[in-house]
Structure 1
Amino acid sequence: MNTKLTYNPQPATRNLQLKITGSKSETNRLLLLQALYPNIKLENTSNSDDSEVMLKAIQQPTTDNRQRTTDNGKPTTEIDIHHAGTAMRFLTAFFAVQEGNEVVLNGSSRMKERPIKILVDALNQLGAEITYEENEGFPPIKIKGKKITKNNVSLPANVSSQYISALLLIAPKLENGLKLTLEGEITSVPYINMTLALLNEIGVETSFENNVIKVNPQPVTHNPQTVTIESDWSSASYWYSIIALSEIGTQITLSSYKKNSLQGDAALIEIYKSFGVETVFNDNQAITISKANTHHPSPITFNLNNSPDIAQTIAVTCFGLGIGCHLAGLHTLKIKETDRLEALKTELSKLGANISVTNDSLTLQPSEKIIENVSIATYQDHRMAMAFAPLALKVPIIIQNAEVVSKSYPTFWEDLKNFEFQVVE
């Protein structure tokens, strides 16, 4: 489905209010913890495809009749996680400790190109039994669930934080807990801290000193408890971009957000001050974001090592405002749903941008003109679709395969319509 976007300006004094569903990052972590500790109840879970895939996969070995029998006579459940990279990594660790279960984790053609070797090696060093079905180091993988008693493993510190979080999430269920040593400079510390904070919230004891993380074993959680998930800051980023590209006085209220967020993408609050956007918390339950001024320093430089998922949004915002930027700390974008750096370069260039990329950075030159009615390829990447949509405030734009937004924000196009965007399929 290709979608053409235009914008019909309305008085800037209105205040749209939107409810953004729970953080995909928090939801997927807590779904795994809930599977390990069933007395946990979750509220405000994400309605994203990724979280639905995660939940279905956790339940599938006991509900799916589509099984095959291996040479040793044991049933093996095949689970397709499609494009959900977080699910692939978290579930690899989860099924490694499900004693007696045997599963094959598979995915889309792109998923088969996304590396999993670092995590598989770490789990196998701990005593897991994981093998490759096709290409060494990549899905699909076969996992035979086992009891794991080893508790000491090391990882390069600059790998995707999802590898690290996957190990931490299963750590309290390991007989002797886990001591994880990270070698070198750590990437995406906020996501590691998010995982540890959620473990602490359900009563698991952890420590993170220097480059060593320790998680104590906890066979059961003692009391039933409810965990309310904060709304997704990554989803909020597109509204920050919309406000940045709007007239002074435009504002929107989004819920439910916390001042002391666990999500690295809450860095939006400070970053978007550079684009004239102010954020006000309302009783620590919602934020009102508004366009306060049009003074935009140029060029702008940000290191997004701790929040790489908002790089696409920021790059498009800068282009829409006609200002230059240099974004660094982006090496993990090469192995996402697509190579996001190359995808940004290709699509922004079509719009008239002067942009260059390296393996871990992006540099955009100031531009005064945006080419109209350009068709933006999305590469099966939800963030490409949503990051480019705000440009409709400036020129008509076409988003290819617009349905891809369901991966993280299924109601995105409907919400845009409420903000006076014209969305034509």
Structure 2
Amino acid sequence: MLHLSHPSAVIHGEINISGSKSESNRGLILQKLFPQIRLENLSNADDTLLLEKALDSDSGEIDIHHAGTAMRFLTAYFALCQGKKIILKGSERMHQRPVYPLVEALREQGAKIDYLENEKFPPLQIQGQRLSPSNFSIPGNISSQYITALMLVASRFAKPCKISFTTELTSRPYLEMTAALLEKIGVKVNFEPNGVTIYPTHVLPINLKIESDWSSASYWFSMVALAEKAEVKLLHYFPNSRQGDAATGKIYQLYFGVEMEASENFISLKKIPHFQPPKNFELDLNATPDIAQTIAVTAAAMKIKTKLTGLHTLKIKETDRLAALQSELQKFGVETKITDDSFEILSFSQGLKNPVIETYNDHRMAMCFAPWALREKISIADPMVVTKSYPNFYEDLEKVGFIINL
């Protein structure tokens, strides 16, 4: 149990967040496919370390624990490793998260992948084959990670490969991030109305510098919004970022009064003077679902009635994030309504004193609620789940005056 508070609600500091987990994981797969690539500013998150270890392992059994990105990316990668036989497994929750859209897309093109327990779910047994298909078909509305996994491995094929979407596309910014990394190493990518085509090429030696993680930055936007006074500099962020969660900047300026100034290698955050928050707003987060929890908690703390839509992917994450949010916000007296793809804040009443936040093995639950400690003391159960994406989170909070007791 971790107890979190702030004596003044005034925060000032310079924070160095490690490289984007999303970009790092893509970069590691590309580096394995093209060893001439060198990576800078890799993420120090658990998910990235697990993926890196799995890619370097000679074992016939790989356990990726809670790392959903690693499960999807490694499924596609090992399917191409000719002559290699791998069992790919994870945590109990991972074995409840579907992987069949990706598996079926690969199987249709000759991959040998078997479900070892429940149909459509990990663990998997993968017998690597030499694949070079010209077309994949996959739903576009379940997880962008399935499509990204195919985009990454398609860059190694001998001929162009089209990945056709059988449904409307979700989370396009994550695919654009993948495309941007591929284009940096010389691989041409062409988006079309119903798919994306990858044109392989000879990749030259190159250093890829990973931008710091925008999902992790979102918690600092929330802190600035909830603080009495604030000025925070976040290092290693680039202008015109291709990370989808860079939308945080505009969202927090418009609804929560956080001004962002971007420089060549950092962003500065401060409160907009005399900002009047809206009484309510509605926001479609179909393209950026990973910042939904942060936005919901910020809105609840500021007593703004809010409706967030486009959230259908949150039910198959580390936990059912919509149900978890509803349960924990209730402790603060916040009444909410959830559907399969939306989260709505309806009303506010007196909450519990010193509420204890359950984290549900979900790193984002711990971090999205932490800024509330600028308003009142809170406690976080199983606080070290943050290592999944932001291992230095609590150390960084201490740098700006938060008091942490275990």
TM-score range, shorter chain: over 0.9
- Provide the C-alpha distance between the structure 2 equivalents of 1:212 and 1:157, rounded to a whole number of angstroms: 9
CA contact (8 A) 2:334 2:349 kept: no
Q: CA deviation at 1:155?
A: 1.4
CA contact (8 A) 1:370 1:395 kept: no
Q: CA deviation at 1:206?
A: 1.6
Residue 21 of structure 2: which of 12, 24, 29 is its match? 24
Give the number of equivalent residue pairs. Answer: 404
Q: CA deviation at 1:154?
A: 1.3
- Provide the C-alpha distance between the structure 2 equivalents of 1:340 and 1:192, rounded to a whole number of angstroms: 22
Residues 221-260 of structure 1: pairs in structure 2 closer than 5 A: 221=203, 223-247=204-228, 249-260=229-240
Partner of 2:378: 397
Residues 10-409 of structure 1: pairs in structure 2 closer than 5 A: 12=10, 15-61=12-58, 64=59, 77-218=60-201, 220-221=202-203, 223-247=204-228, 249-273=229-253, 274-282=255-263, 284-292=264-272, 293-367=274-348, 369-409=350-390
- Provide the C-alpha distance between the structure 2 equivalents of 1:217 and 1:275, rounded to a whole number of angstroms: 44
Q: CA deviation at 1:128?
A: 0.7
- Provide the C-alpha distance between the structure 2 equivalents of 1:142 and 1:305, rounded to a whole number of angstroms: 32
C-alpha deviations, 1:209-255, integer Å up to 9, x for none?
Answer: 2122111233x42x2110000000000010000000011x4110001
* Unaligned ranges ≥5, structure 2: none
CA contact (8 A) 1:127 1:149 kept: no
Question: CA RMSD of the aligned region, Å?
Answer: 1.2
Moved more, 286-295 or 399-408: 286-295
* Unaligned ranges ≥5, structure 1: 65-76
C-alpha deviations, 1:56-83, integer Å up to 9, x for none?
Answer: 000112xx4xxxxxxxxxxxx1000000
TM-score (norm 2): 0.97
CA contact (8 A) 2:105 2:137 kept: yes
TM-score (norm 1): 0.93
- Provide the C-alpha distance between the structure 1 equivalents of 2:267 and 2:391, rounded to a whole number of angstroms: 21
Partner of 1:6: 5
Q: CA deviation at 1:368?
A: 5.6
The residue type equivalent to 1:111 in the other structure is: M
- Provide the C-alpha distance between the structure 1 equivalents of 2:375 and 2:217, rounded to a whole number of angstroms: 20
CA contact (8 A) 1:127 1:148 kept: yes
Q: CA deviation at 1:184?
A: 2.9
Q: CA deviation at 1:150?
A: 2.2
CA contact (8 A) 2:257 2:271 kept: yes
- Provide the C-alpha distance between the structure 2 equivalents of 1:294 and 1:412, rounded to a whole number of angstroms: 28
The residue type equivalent to 1:409 in the other structure is: Y
CA contact (8 A) 1:154 1:181 kept: yes
